[in-house]
């Protein structure tokens, strides 16, 4: 009996160690796609000035990137189902590397279309990685702390989003003597990302990941869209991503407005890490808070705070307006992981399929910035275009308060 107990204990300890190692490796994926998406906030003012575009035209950068999430999420989940988690990670990283290298011909020919194609390819690789990583992290341990683990991984993602804009602003933004020099400034950063992606792909190709089988005690059957928490979760996640991306996308332009701070591009870009840094701090703190409080309660209060700060951004000017907008990042921090966890709760063997559906939600990152760009170009102006994120946080509040509950559950 004691021998059996000891054997079980050793097996449990070995499994726990294996899960920790897998979590560390998965964290590198969160770090990489965080760096890529935050660099878009540097590309936006850089390419806007290179190609002399208005706000709506410039937001095609985010549209091209996040369009991949909508068009490729379900195909990615089907591919993962066929080739498995590990091969899926290697494939996703290789595609990211190819997308980064597309910036070489794009900058050489000074072609906006090639830049957009490179972003779409990068995002396609990231979609494959996220179809694997989000649900995989959730099951690397007890279900009670699943949301906490995903918040921690998202915190590592936010570390990248804090560091990458500083590096991008230093190497990419500046004053240039001609268009060729202006376009070529992106090369070093994106070659570096390509090397990093391909190096990590090689490591994943050589290591062994723990096998995860059906972990949920709640078995789900049939079409995932019959589950209310998933249907409304897709809407909530779409609006969250749209709001988060819109705010980050317009930081440089907004801080350059005379009624805010009137900063030049390179100076304004230094404030981007404060926004994304808020997400990083909030995710690490949120990981601890979620050990004590439920995901839905934290989501409700975070959405209320984000709504208030965006309202202050719209209604005030100068430093108050600037800091209110930047502080939204702190309360955005836990929204992705909490909405994601609530949306797949109880779906059992349909979790991977549901994950693919949810990863179509970042289409919000394509649509909302573009719509906000149209509003910013209109008489409504950039300042009042922030009404779109405001409405988004209102729906997220509803989802956290009661929208995440299955219809069969008493409200």
Q: What are 290-313's pLDDT values in tens digits?
A: 777 777 888 999 999 999 999 999
**What CATH homologous superfamily does 2-403 map to?**
MFS general substrate transporter like domains (1.20.1250.20)
End-to-end CA distance of the chain: 47
Q: d(Cα 160, Cα 116) in Å, to the nearest integer?
A: 22
Q: Does residue 371 have a pLDDT over 90?
A: yes
Predicted confidence at residue 343, as pLDDT, reads 85
CA angle 153, 269, 125 (to 5 degrees): 40
Predicted confidence at residue 409, as pLDDT, reads 45
Say which range, 206-220, 272-286, 301-315, has the weakest mean pLDDT. 206-220
Other CB atoms within 10 Å distance of the CB of residue 212: 14
Q: d(Cα 364, Cα 62) in Å, to the nearest integer?
A: 10
Predicted confidence at residue 33, as pLDDT, reads 87
Across the chain, mean pLDDT equals 85
Top pLDDT among 201 and 81 is at 201
* Per-residue H/E/C for the chain: CHHHHHHHHHHHHHHHHHHHHHHHHHHHHHHHHHHHHHHHHHHHHHHHHHHCCCHHHHCHHHHHHHHHHHHHHHHHHHHHHHHHHHHHHHHHHHHHHHHHHCHHHHHHHCCHHHHHHHHHHHHHHHHHHHHHHHHHHHCCCCHHHHHHHHHHHHHHHHHHHHHHHHHHHHHHCCCCCCHHHHHHCCHHHHHHHHHHHHHHHHHHHHCCCCCCCCCCCCCCCCCHHHCHHHHHHHHHHHHHHHHHHHHHHCHHHHHCCCCCCCCCHHHHHCCHHHHHHHHHHHHHHHHHHCCCCCHHHHHHHHHHHHHHHHHHHHHCCHHHHHHHHHHHHHHHCCHHHHHHHHHHCCCHHHHHHHHHHHCCHHHHHHHHHHHHHHHHHCCCHHHHCCHHHHHHHHHHHHHHHHHCCCCCCCC
pLDDT, tens digit (0-9, with 9 covering 90-100), for 47-90: 999 999 999 999 999 999 999 988 988 788 788 888 887 889 99
Is 8 exposed, middle or buried (CB count within 10 Å of its CB: 0-12, 13-18, 19+)? exposed
Q: d(Cα 3, Cα 63) in Å, to the nearest integer?
A: 59
Predicted confidence at residue 12, as pLDDT, reads 54
**Per-residue pLDDT averaged across 372-383, rounded?**
89
Domain boundaries, the chain: 2-403
Say which range, 4-8, 55-59, 183-187, 405-409, has the weakest mean pLDDT. 4-8
Top pLDDT among 20 and 220 is at 20
Length of the chain as a residue count: 411
Say which range, 102-111, 335-344, 345-354, 398-407, has the weakest mean pLDDT. 345-354
Predicted confidence at residue 387, as pLDDT, reads 95
**Per-residue pLDDT averaged across 207-231, rounded?**
63
Predicted confidence at residue 215, as pLDDT, reads 42
Confidence band of 213 (pLDDT split at 50, 70, 90):
low
Burial 291-328 (b: 16+ CB within 10 A, else e): eeeebbebbbebbbbbbbbbebbbebeeeebbebbbbb
Predicted confidence at residue 14, as pLDDT, reads 53
pLDDT, tens digit (0-9, with 9 covering 90-100), for 88-131: 999 999 999 999 999 999 999 999 999 999 999 999 999 899 88
Predicted confidence at residue 47, as pLDDT, reads 94
């Amino acid at each position: 009996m004691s021998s059996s107990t000891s054997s079980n204990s050793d097996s449990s300890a070995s499994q726990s160690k294996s899960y920790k190692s897998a979590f560390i490796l998965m964290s590198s994926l969160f770090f990489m796609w965080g760096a890529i998406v935050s660099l878009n906030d540097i590309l936006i003012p850089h390419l806007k000035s290179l190609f002399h575009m208005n706000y709506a035209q410039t937001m095609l950068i985010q549209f091209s990137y996040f369009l991949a999430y909508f068009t490729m999420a379900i195909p990615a989940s089907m591919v993962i189902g066929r080739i498995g988690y590990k091969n899926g990670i290697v494939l996703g990283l290789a595609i990211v590397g190819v997308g980064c290298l597309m910036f070489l011909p794009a900058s050489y020919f000074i072609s906006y279309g090639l830049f957009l194609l490179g972003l779409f390819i990068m995002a396609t690789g990231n979609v494959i990685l996220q179809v694997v990583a989000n649900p995989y992290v959730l099951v690397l341990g007890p279900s009670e702390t699943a949301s906490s683990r995903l918040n921690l991984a998202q915190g590592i993602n936010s570390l990248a989003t804090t560091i990458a804009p500083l590096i991008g602003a230093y190497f990419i933004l500046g004053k240039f003597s001609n268009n060729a020099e202006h376009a070529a400034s992106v090369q070093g950063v994106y070659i570096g990302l390509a090397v990093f992606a391909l190096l990590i792909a090689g490591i994943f190709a050589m290591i062994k990941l723990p096998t995860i089988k059906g972990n949920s005690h709640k078995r789900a059957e049939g079409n995932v869209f019959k589950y209310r928490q998933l249907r409304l979760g897709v809407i909530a996640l779409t609006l969250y991503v749209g709001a988060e991306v819109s705010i980050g996308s317009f930081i440089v332009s907004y801080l350059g407005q005379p009624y805010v701070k009137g900063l030049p591009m390179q100076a304004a870009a230094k404030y981007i890490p404060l926004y994304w840094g808020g997400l990083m701090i909030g995710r690490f703190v949120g990981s601890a808070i979620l050990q004590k409080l439920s995901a839905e309660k934290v989501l409700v209060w975070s959405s209320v705070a984000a709504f208030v700060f965006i309202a202050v951004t719209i209604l005030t000017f100068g430093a108050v307006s600037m800091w209110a907008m930047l502080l939204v990042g702190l309360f955005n921090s836990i929204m992705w992981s909490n909405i994601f966890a609530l949306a797949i709760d109880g779906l059992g063997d349909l979790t991977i399929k549901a994950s693919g559906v949810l990863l179509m939600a970042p289409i919000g990152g394509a649509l909302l910035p573009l719509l906000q760009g149209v509003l910013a170009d209109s008489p409504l102006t950039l300042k009042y275009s922030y009404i779109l994120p405001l409405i988004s946080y209102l729906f997220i509040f509803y989802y956290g308060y009661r929208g995440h509950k299955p219809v069969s559950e008493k409200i």
